[in-house]
Amino acid sequence: MRFVLRMAVREIRASWRRLLLFFVCIAVGVGGIVLLRSIVQDVRLAIARDARSLSAADVTLSTNRSWDDQTREIIARRLAGVKVLARTEGIETSTMVRPADERRPVARMAEVRGVQPGFPLYGNVELQDGRSYSHALLAGHGALIRPELLVQLDSRVGDEILIGTGRFTVRGVLVSEPGRRVAGFSFGPRILVDAADLESTGLLGFGSRVSRDIQLKLPDREIEPTANQLRADLRTHFVNVRSVRGTEDHVGDDLSRAENYLSLVGLVIAILGGIGVSSVTRVFVQQKVRSIAVLKCLGATSWQVFGAYLVQAILLGAVGCLLGVALAAAGLASLPWWFSGQPGFATVPTDMTPSAVVQGVAIGLLVAVLFSAVPLLDVRRVKPSLLLRDAIRAGERDWVRWAAMAVLLAALVLIASWQAGSFRIGLAVSVGLAAVALILSLVGAGFVRAIRPLGASRSVALRHAVLRLSRPGNQTRAVLLAVGLGAFFIVGVRSLQANLLDQFSVTLDANAADMFLIDVQPGQAVGVERMLAERTGTPQPPAIPVLRARVTSVAGREVTLRTYEEVRRRGGLGREFTVTWRDHLQPNERVVEGRFWDRGRAETPEVSIEQGLRDRSRIHVGDTVQFDVLGRTISARVTSVREVDWRDARQGGFMFVFRPGPLDKVPATYVAPVRGPVDPAARARLQRDLVDRFPNVSVIDLREILQNVERVLAKVTLGVTVVGGLVLLVGGLILIGSVSMTRFQRIYEVAIFRTLGAGTRLLTVMTALEYGVLGLLSGAIGSVAAIALTYYVSRHVLDIRWSPYPMISLAGMAVTALVVCAVGLAASADILRRRPLGTLRSE
Amino acid sequence: MIQLHGVSKTVMSGASPLTILHAIDLDVPAGRFLAVTGPSGSGKSTLLGLIAGLDAPSAGRVVIDGTDITSLDEDRLARLRGQKIGFVFQFFHLVPSLTAFENVMVPMEIAGRPGAAARATALLSEVGLTGRGHHYPSQLSGGEQQRIAIARAFANEPLILLADEPTGNLDTANGRHVMELLREVNERRGTTLVLATHDASLAALAHERLALRDGQRELV
């Protein structure tokens, strides 16, 4: 054992430079795992610590209707038997906000929250100037607003702003507030005002989008029972009951899943690093054959030698792990800089968590051991007799080696399961990865075969370049796999981004609506249309009546849902839908099943549903769906299924369209699509004037949303590109490893070519072509896979139209080819410069 | 000490078998010095390799110090070599990643012998290389490397020392020095020495001679 340890240490001293690649491969994988896991764990820790202030209450009841007497009574009756420590109510609505100063032509959508003096039950409202919050700041039409909104409104603390018809004074800048979701969809920046003042703005009337909540502080052991009882009591009243534990669990589950998926990405990088480790080790053993034979001659057993090199691999792996942890630390430290200026990210802590480090290091060591063990087993086959004469290569099957590979595969499945937190997912990922590897290597083999005719090319350089790719001991497949995978990530996500942006930008062509007015009251519809016509000078599309409705039951061929509770359990179907009625199809609609009604009114309610909704909820033509529309129950028969081209949803895409008639009596609000002026100043002026005249009307500016979407997509793309870059980096490392693997062969070959009259130029061109072709093939594999991915994701996950982006694919291939070519040339540079005589003499 | 009974070695050369050593019987008693002579390719190295258990004979039995090594597996052979046999090669075969001192220590470490460092220092001084222990093989001359190799071969005080053309790659002066070291080991410590050489003047120093030609014993 002493011998094993000492030999390991001495070998490292002698050859750590040659094995640099070894620990860089490990470091990249470990760094990836530690970084990704730390981020998620930090977020989770923050949430666990601040769960109460995040949900702001022990139990929250919320509804987007008003609290009617009956509901209030049910709640009061239930709470009578419970010791309520504190209670406060809140109101939220999204609306347009504008400076009171009419010379500033801006109006912005914001989320206004009205709170009572009891707010917040938990946590603190954080203000930018460090003052502590008290309700007195809001009393008498005071408002606290988010900094970005203040900038958008071109206002300062002390200025007055208009919310609806109410005039408020900005009393402070809001940094964070308890109860605000960490991430989620929002209609705009937050404004905090007094609840009673909000009632006075005239915004909470009929048809407006208002959410009201009651927040409760209860003794610990009463939280869950009370929440459950209230949930049961209010089942039929469209009231959502949340408990702090529930929120915590829900967010926690999501984060665990995110953490595990991200870790799998890290694991994939680590496994690719393992491939690099494996090829480096194989070269190492080849170079050490003579020393191994000597050690055996001096009395060392195969396992002693194997042990010495394995210990060496473990030590190198450990160094790689440390390097990886250091990389992760650097990455984490740079995060705040990365996300600076992104609201919401500023407060996320960026500490390295011990558990992430332990997992990263454990995986790093396992990968180092497992992937180096298989090639190291070859030391057993080194015979000491080769010191006397060249050994005759034994071609017999090595069962130990096969067994080791089986152990390696089994271990990978277990590690993946551990990282994914589920054996099923672990197995699926392993099988998936194996399948991808198999496909990529088959495709690679196919490509290599396809270019084989080039081996008969008239060009010497090209001929030899192609022949080299299939020389014995070539690493063509390993490189194709790793580099191809990296290219796949990057090209895939870029094309997906292009497809998504394309989806949005279609709505912005010159003649289409690029602004939507919502919450237009029935009495205002005519006035709004007239004002728009005057101001824009172009004919505007007609306003669309909309209602909000919930599905309360379904009686169908395939699905029967008797109560709203059952509907709610079906996921998406339980949400609130925006519905409309009309007697014609829009240009972006097509009936795919059943028959759309003719003009004219119906005796009994009829409804047409969207194709995707049919597929997901399995509601068919002929089924009866019952709706609750503003408290009225309407039973409608499904008479047709429409396909909606969502890319062209200017006229609105509706899941449910009713036949005119039964809904006419229900008071609706209107949505008006507007072709707004393109000039930003004119747009702002128009929005401001609209809101001045119709304070309850909100404007959704598509151009602005598109900019936001672009910004978010750019961030996501950057993230995935970084991951893809890591994969590509590992690919580069494997490439370097493969160059050094065939190094001796190459040195000799170059010497002979030189002796036979080849100049540096020819040799360089030959090498450049070799790696250029390899890179081109990798890029092609990645691009083909990326096209398959974007097609699948676009059509089946995002449900958008797919179009190929040949420029992105071609650019991806070209860049990959260039990178691989550059790396290959750089790694071979010293070989190409060598003088032939020294080489031939020493051979 | 060394007994060979009908030992031969046949290898496959392409598709046809090639006998590089024909059946040979040999008995070298303890403490003797045997020179194996013959031109290159006559089977000298093969014979030494078979005695050291570096290679397995195609037929016959090799008995070392009363142990039939023919049926031993690779690891048992390694252990036996570590304890009883020292080997000196024509091309030195030092481990390039280890210093001279470490090269000498290795056999003792493998055998798990205590006091390896002190003994390695003593051995280095015996071969006259006290000051060069921290050098790597590539920093040493051929003669120095071979003396290190001899110190290494003698580290575990083996019963048998096998030397395969130890002076073949050295100039005359260095060759003489190496030869003196080997004879000293044989004479002073009674180590059985088998020396393969094509140099008649070296062979003349031995107690006995075995001449080989084309893998067969040649009558002298």
Residues in chain A: 843
Domain encompassing residue A256:
1-53+251-421
Task: Let me know if residue A660 belongs to a domain.
Answer: yes
Q: Give the Cα separation of B64 and B160 in Å (integer).
A: 9
CB atoms B74 and A301 under 8 Å? yes
Query: Is A394 near chain B, with CB under 8 Å?
Result: no
Q: Give the Cα separation of A243 and A54 in Å (integer).
A: 12
Structure token pair of residue B162: 């096998």
Which one-letter DSSP state was computed for residue A493?
H
Other C-beta atoms closer than 10 Å to the C-beta of A570 total 15
What's the pLDDT score for residue A639?
92
A301 to chain B: which residues are within 8 Å by CB?
74-75, 78-79
Backbone angles phi and psi of A585, in degrees to 5: -85, 150
pLDDT (average), residues B133-146: 90
Residues in chain B: 220
Q: What region does A94 belong to: left with phi over 0, alpha with psi -120 to 50, or beta?
A: beta
Minimal Cβ distance to B97: which of A6, A14, A392: A14
Query: Is B63 near chain A, with CB under 8 Å?
Result: no
Query: Is B115 near chain A, with CB under 8 Å?
Result: no
Q: How far is B82 from chain A (nearest CA, A)?
A: 4
Q: Are B10 and B58 in contact (CB under 8 A)?
A: yes
Whether residues A608 and A461 fall in one domain: no
pLDDT (average), residues A652-677: 83
B12 to chain A: which residues are within 8 Å by CB?
392
Q: Are A489 and A781 in contact (CB under 8 A)?
A: no
Q: Which residue has the higher pLDDT, A817 or A251?
A: A817
- The percent of residues above 90 in pLDDT, for chain B, comes to 43
Q: Which amino acid is at A548?
A: R
Q: Are A545 and A699 in contact (CB under 8 A)?
A: no
What's the pLDDT score for residue A843?
39
Q: Which residue has the higher pLDDT, A252 or B208?
A: B208
Whether residues A265 and A403 fall in one domain: yes
Q: Give the Cα separation of A343 and A182 in Å (integer).
A: 11
ipTM for the predicted complex comes to 0.86
Query: What does the buried/exposed string (b/e) look like for A735-774 if buried means 16 or more CB atoms within 10 Å of the residue's CB?
Result: bbbbbbbbbeebbbbbbebbeeebeeeebbbbbbbbbbbb
B164 to chain A: which residues are within 8 Å by CB?
388
The closest alpha carbon to A613, from A641, A633, A592, A635, belongs to: A641
A303 to chain B: which residues are within 8 Å by CB?
75
Answer yes or no: is pLDDT of A339 > 70.
no
- CA-to-CA dists, residue A543 to A386, A588, A670, angstroms: 90, 17, 6
Other C-beta atoms closer than 10 Å to the C-beta of B131 total 9
For residue B152, what is the nearest residue in chain A, using CA coordinates?
Answer: A298
The closest alpha carbon to A265, from A424, A407, A497, A425, belongs to: A425
Task: Let me know if residue A70 belongs to a domain.
Answer: no
Whether residues A593 and A666 fall in one domain: yes
User: What's this model's pTM, rounded to 2 decimal places?
Assistant: 0.66
Query: Is A295 near chain B, with CB under 8 Å?
Result: yes
- The percent of residues above 70 in pLDDT, for chain A, comes to 85
The closest alpha carbon to A173, from A194, A155, A157, A151, belongs to: A157
- Local confidence band at A711 (pLDDT 50, 70, 90 cut-offs): confident
pLDDT (average), residues A778-796: 81
Model confidence pLDDT, tens digit, residues A412-439 = 888 888 877 778 877 877 787 777 778 7
Minimal Cβ distance to A2: which of B80, B109, B164: B109
Query: Is A296 near chain B, with CB under 8 Å?
Result: yes
Burial class from Cβ neighbours inside 10 Å (0-12, 13-18, 19+) for residue A449 reads exposed
What's the pLDDT score for residue A29?
84
What's the pLDDT score for residue A345?
44
Query: Is A388 near chain B, with CB under 8 Å?
Result: yes
Which one-letter DSSP state was computed for residue A133?
P
Task: Let me know if residue A329 belongs to a domain.
Answer: yes
Task: Let me know if residue A798 belongs to a domain.
Answer: yes
Whether residues A313 and A376 fall in one domain: yes
Answer yes or no: is pLDDT of A644 > 70.
yes
In sequence order, what are the beta bridge partners of A520?
A670
Answer yes or no: is pLDDT of A325 > 50.
yes
In sequence order, what are the beta bridge partners of A96?
A109
Whether residues A394 and A470 fall in one domain: no
pLDDT (average), residues A567-571: 77
Own/partner long-range contacts of A412-419 (Cβ < 8 Å, ≥24 apart): A412/A271, A412/A370, A415/A267, A415/A363, A415/A366, A416/A264, A416/A267, A419/A33, A419/A260, A419/A263, A419/A264, A419/A266, A419/A267, A419/A359, A419/A363
Whether residues A285 and A175 fall in one domain: no
Domain ranges, ordered by start, for chain B: 30-54+74-218
Query: What does the buried/exposed string (b/e) look like for B13-52 if buried means 16 or more CB atoms within 10 Å of the residue's CB?
Result: eeeeeebbbbbbebebeeebbbbbbbeeebbbbbbbbbbb
Query: Is B117 near chain A, with CB under 8 Å?
Result: no
Prior bond of A120 cis (ω within 30°): yes
Q: What region does A373 belong to: left with phi over 0, alpha with psi -120 to 50, or beta?
A: alpha
What's the pLDDT score for residue A231?
87
Query: Is A400 near chain B, with CB under 8 Å?
Result: no
In sequence order, what are the beta bridge partners of A73?
none
What's the 3-state SS for A369-407? HHHHHHHHHHHHHCCHHHHCCCCCCCCCCCHHHHHHHHH
The closest alpha carbon to A114, from A148, A88, A87, A75, belongs to: A88
Whether residues A786 and A829 fall in one domain: yes
CB atoms B89 and A387 under 8 Å? yes
Whether residues A349 and A493 fall in one domain: no
Q: Are A764 and A529 in contact (CB under 8 A)?
A: no
Structure token pair of residue A20: 């640099």
Model confidence pLDDT, tens digit, residues A600-625 = 777 788 999 998 888 888 899 999 99
Q: Are A349 and A45 in contact (CB under 8 A)?
A: yes
Task: Let me know if residue A681 belongs to a domain.
Answer: no
Q: Give the Cα separation of A515 and A673 in Å (integer).
A: 6
Look at residues A674, A692, A727 and tell me which one is the last residue of a structural domain: A674
Q: Give the Cα separation of A518 and A208 in Å (integer).
A: 9
Q: Is the dihedral of CA A228, A231, A235, A241 positive or negative?
A: negative
Burial class from Cβ neighbours inside 10 Å (0-12, 13-18, 19+) for residue B99 reads buried
Task: Let me know if residue A724 belongs to a domain.
Answer: yes
Whether residues A662 and A711 fall in one domain: no
Whether residues A16 and A140 fall in one domain: no
Q: Give the Cα separation of A214 and A76 in Å (integer).
A: 12
Whether residues A612 and A759 fall in one domain: no
Q: Are A616 and A673 in contact (CB under 8 A)?
A: no
Query: Is A385 near chain B, with CB under 8 Å?
Result: yes
Structure token pair of residue A766: 């030959």
- Local confidence band at A586 (pLDDT 50, 70, 90 cut-offs): confident
Instruction: State which fold the B30-54+74-218 domain adopts.
Output: Rossmann fold (3.40.50)
B154 to chain A: which residues are within 8 Å by CB?
none
Other C-beta atoms closer than 10 Å to the C-beta of A451 total 18
Q: Which of A291-300, A510-519, A651-660, A730-739 has the lowest mean pLDDT?
A: A730-739
Task: Let me know if residue A439 belongs to a domain.
Answer: no
Model confidence pLDDT, tens digit, residues A131-172 = 889 999 999 999 999 888 888 888 889 999 999 888 999 999
Q: Which of A348-362, A459-473, A751-765, B55-69 has the lowest mean pLDDT?
A: A459-473
Other C-beta atoms closer than 10 Å to the C-beta of B4 total 22
The closest alpha carbon to A384, from A514, A258, A296, belongs to: A296
Q: Give the Cα separation of A336 and A37 in Å (integer).
A: 17
Task: Let me know if residue A117 belongs to a domain.
Answer: yes
Q: Are A377 and A342 in contact (CB under 8 A)?
A: no
Query: Is A701 near chain B, with CB under 8 Å?
Result: no
What's the pLDDT score for residue A346?
43
The total number of structural domains in chain A stands at 4
Other C-beta atoms closer than 10 Å to the C-beta of A76 total 9
Own/partner long-range contacts of A152-156 (Cβ < 8 Å, ≥24 apart): A152/A106, A152/A108, A152/A189, A153/A97, A153/A98, A153/A99, A153/A104, A153/A106, A153/A108, A154/A99, A154/A104, A154/A106, A155/A99, A155/A104
Q: Give the Cα separation of A273 and A21 in Å (integer).
A: 10
CB atoms A291 and B97 under 8 Å? yes
Whether residues A275 and A409 fall in one domain: yes
Q: Give the Cα separation of A660 and A30 in Å (integer).
A: 62
Query: What 3-state DSSP class applies to A19?
Result: coil
Distant-in-sequence, close-in-space partners of A758: CB < 8 Å, separation ≥ 6: none
pLDDT (average), residues B53-61: 90
What's the pLDDT score for residue A820?
86
**Kind plus residue range of the DSSP H or E element containing B157:** none
- CA-to-CA dists, residue A735 to A276, A446, A774, A815, angstroms: 8, 20, 10, 16
Q: Is the dihedral of CA A565, A567, A569, A575 positive or negative?
A: negative
